[in-house]
Amino acid sequence: MDALYQLSYRGTAIILSYLKTKRNSRLTSDSAIIINMKRDTPKKPFSIISYLAPLGSALIFTILSCLNLRTAMWFDESYSAYLVRGDFGQIWQMTALDVHPPFYYFCLKVWSLLFGNSDFALRSMSVFFGGLAIILTFFLLRRWFGEKAAAISTLALSIAPIFVRYSQEMRMYALVFAIIIGATLVLDIALKSKRKVAWCAYALLVCLGMWTHYFSALAWLAQLGYIIYYFRQHGRQNSIFWVYPLAVLLYLPWLPSFFSQVKSVQSGFWIPPVDLSTPLSFFSESLVQSNAADTQSWLALLVCALIWLSAYLLHRHTPKAARGKFGFLLAMTFVPPILLMLLSLPPLKPTYVTRYVVYSASLLWAIIGLAAYWTWRYGKKALAVAFAVLALISASIGLYSVTTRQNNEDVRGLVAVLQAHEAAPILVHVDAMSYYDFFFYESAERPIYGIDVDFVWNSLEPIRQYSQNYLSDLDSYIVQQDRFWLVLPNDAAADYAFAGFRPSDSIITDHYTATAYQKL
């Protein structure tokens, strides 16, 4: 009996062990199948929205930007155009004497070789990089918030008055925005993939931003804060320990010039001090392209209503799953201007100008787009539509101001009148802010020369160094001419006397007097 019991017990144990082994084997096999299915399942393909939304937004932005690319030059733009007359070595040397790094001017030099030196051609580079920034913004926000949210947000960005305004200028602000958004997109890829090549690309873009505009560093500080937050949530990645040293290493050739320029700015600069109206101007310039002093009456109410509604809707309707990324977007929008305002307080010299943080001011419109989309998705469709209409009114007011603005036409108009007369060189002795404006409108047949230039600003050094538009020996040049024009400011004393010449004609504008001198 005991033997039968033992046999039965052992038999049952063997059968149960066999069944357990088979079950574990089947589970392991099923798990392997599931894993393989996950590996073999392709990522969600891009829908038609992912192609049409960024291209459509970039097209809208391009059309708006091109509406006013032919307005007259102003100092910063004409300086850019003059600087790229030199070679790359000269651009490096001359930029080191100014207040900005050289990468934008290198790009503009290449662009001018490809497309020419007209105002439309040179300004169109900013339009190109602005469109690129919009496309990159879409793919960044698509990763964070989905296709539809990215589409609405990018559409709002494309009609941002401040973004359109500074993408019409021959300056570096649109390029900086494209670099910063590209770096943010690459950073998100690097954090999630942990790939060294992505971290290397991020280090390169960080360095490139510093080669373009110093205040891109404020965006990098906002990103560093997010990196620390991300590491606390998901664990540290050791790549971070060589990323920033790599960026600094790539920046070393320009570092001496950087310190020299900082010293120059801190010794005295043209920027007004920060006051209580400065934060208000950040919002009013971003939303309606008007500083705080000029934002009065119902326009001020519109700006306040849009700001308050945006904050309220985002507080109520931001999805919980999106709050981490949205916090990063808020940091990119508000940390740079706040830091720049703080860095403009005594004992430091003022350095805050809203255009220096155009990338942050423009992202404010991306946030407005998200507020409208999330409110709609939450089911408050009427409220979302009302908010969108309010934002559209604000954008329309700002865009009208942007697309109808005119810089001072005095220089361009005067040069056009002088060029319509018989061929004769044009000599100018004007204030430092006007030389480059005159030089931009010269032609091969009607050259323009500066005389008795007072090189009190380092930004005037290209006139002397390039030796294209400066007459260091005026008398020797005059004796070779039969006729020439002399342009002076209206408030300047006419103390020029040219032996063997007599005044024969004059043209007076609001700011200048041009006198024709004829050989006796």
- Residue 238: inside a domain, yes or no? yes
Write down which residue in 404, 421, 447 finishes a domain: 404
Mark whether 155 and 83 lie in a shared domain.
Answer: yes
Mark whether 312 and 385 lie in a shared domain.
Answer: yes
Give the separation between CA 81 and CA 73, rounded to whole angstroms.
Answer: 10
Mark whether 245 and 373 lie in a shared domain.
Answer: yes
Residues 6+ away with beta carbon under 8 Å from 452: 429, 474
- Residue 179: inside a domain, yes or no? yes
Residue 269: per-residue pLDDT: 67
The arithmetic mean of pLDDT across residues 446-454, rounded, is 91
* The amino acid at 516: A
Mark whether 399 and 424 lie in a shared domain.
Answer: no
Mark whether 165 and 202 lie in a shared domain.
Answer: yes
Residue 14: per-residue pLDDT: 42
What share of the chain has pLDDT > 90, as a percent?
A: 75
- Residue 53: inside a domain, yes or no? yes
Total number of domains constituting the chain: 2
- Residue 2: inside a domain, yes or no? no
Span of 173-182, 205-214, 429-438 with lowest mean pLDDT: 429-438
- Residue 19: inside a domain, yes or no? no
Mark whether 425 and 378 lie in a shared domain.
Answer: no
Find the angle CA(303)-CA(408)-CA(295) to the nearest 5 degrees: 15
Per-residue pLDDT tens over the stretch 86-107: 999 999 999 999 889 999 999 9
Tokens for 179, please give them.
Answer: 């670099």
Q: What is the mean pLDDT of the chain?
A: 89
Mark whether 414 and 388 lie in a shared domain.
Answer: no
Mark whether 281 and 377 lie in a shared domain.
Answer: yes
pLDDT category of residue 20 using cuts at 50, 70 and 90? very low
Write down which residue in 384, 404, 424 finishes a domain: 404
Per-residue pLDDT tens over the stretch 30-66: 343 233 333 333 345 678 888 899 999 999 999 999 9
Which pTM value belongs to this model?
0.89
Give the separation between CA 289 and CA 354, rounded to whole angstroms.
Answer: 11
Task: Using the predicted structure, report yes or no on whether residue 1 has a pLDDT greater than 80.
Answer: no
Mark whether 400 and 414 lie in a shared domain.
Answer: no
The arithmetic mean of pLDDT across residues 317-341, rounded, is 95
Residue 49: per-residue pLDDT: 82
Per-residue pLDDT tens over the stretch 365-388: 999 999 999 999 998 999 999 999
- Residue 355: inside a domain, yes or no? yes
Mark whether 462 and 342 lie in a shared domain.
Answer: no
Residue 19: per-residue pLDDT: 41
Tokens for 447, please give them.
Answer: 């050259």
Mark whether 506 and 379 lie in a shared domain.
Answer: no
Cβ atoms within 10 Å, residue 432: 15
Write down which residue in 367, 386, 404 finishes a domain: 404
Cβ atoms within 10 Å, residue 14: 10
Per-residue pLDDT tens over the stretch 487-513: 999 887 667 888 889 998 899 999 999
Per-residue pLDDT tens over the stretch 282-299: 999 999 999 988 888 899
Domain span holding position 421: 410-519
Longest C-alpha distance within the chain, in Å? 146
- Residue 24: inside a domain, yes or no? no
- Residue 37: inside a domain, yes or no? no
Task: Using the predicted structure, report yes or no on whether residue 17 has a pLDDT greater than 70.
Answer: no
Q: How big is the chain by its Cα radius of gyration, in Å?
A: 31
Mark whether 119 and 246 lie in a shared domain.
Answer: yes
Give the separation between CA 353 and CA 502, rounded to whole angstroms.
Answer: 48
Tokens for 152, please give them.
Answer: 């609405």
H-assigned helices in 41-102: 49-66, 75-83, 88-96
